[in-house]
Amino acid sequence: MPKKKSQPRSPKTTGSSLDLRPVVVALGLGSNLGEQEATLRRAVRALSRHLSAPRLSSPYSTQALCDPDQPRFLNAVLVASCTLEPEQILGLAKAIEWLAGRRGGPRYGPRPLDVDLLVYGALSIDRPDLVVPHPRLRQRKFVLCPLAEIAPELPVPPDEATAASLLEALPNDQDIDKLTWSIPPI
């Protein structure tokens, strides 16, 4: 008797069955404490164990938006395919932040690592514990520059505007410098 081919999985719950098909996700990474590049490389490697076909942007050096007296951030974006649900990605991101030394602190304060779920396919979620797409993605050049670098045509819900068009619409008032990785993370 021939084996049944397993079906691709997608994050949709129908009744009591879970159907998981790969979905494109975008994750933002940032650090402004400690060995920033090494921290981002470790985070990328840890995330990549759970993702398929990861693409990583160049690193970008940026001024903190809410408190310019903080150290500069090193930011990057990782785009990949995965079968994890949004809540699982959030849990993974928080665990990786914890391992990097992130503990409580002031909102928008300095941190060794920040991992944000920016986009999860065409899904829009608005809950107290999870908002997707990221609620400030469209205002942040430090997210849109690296996102447009590696996935310019990525549609961002709810209107499916592309990463490149969102970047083009931003005013040029945020301090950002494109860098190169000293050691490629992936």
pLDDT recorded at residue 68: 74
Residues of the chain with pLDDT under 70: 1-19
Written as six digits, the tokens of 89 are 């990605």
Written as six digits, the tokens of 3 are 């084996």
Written as six digits, the tokens of 120 are 């999860």
Written as six digits, the tokens of 182 are 């000293």
What kind and span of H or E run contains 98?
helix 86-99
Selected catalytic residue, list 9, 19, 116, 127: 116
Residues linked to residue 17 through DSSP beta bridges, in sequence order: 14
Domain boundaries, the chain: 22-178
| Residue 135: strand, helix, or coil | coil
Selected catalytic residue, list 67, 103, 111, 127: 111
Whether 114 is catalytic: yes
pLDDT recorded at residue 5: 32
Of the candidates 10, 59, 6, the one whose C-alpha atom is nearest the C-alpha of residue 37 is 59
Rg (CA), the chain: 17
Residues linked to residue 124 through DSSP beta bridges, in sequence order: none
Is the pTM higher than 0.85? The answer reads yes
Whether 116 is catalytic: yes
pLDDT recorded at residue 101: 86
DSSP secondary structure string for all residues of 149-175: HH-TT-EETTTTEEHHHHHHHS-S-S-
**Torsion-angle region of residue 79: left (phi > 0), alpha (psi -120 to 50) or beta?**
beta
CATH for 22-178 is 3.30.70.560
pLDDT recorded at residue 7: 32
Selected catalytic residue, list 9, 69, 72, 114: 114
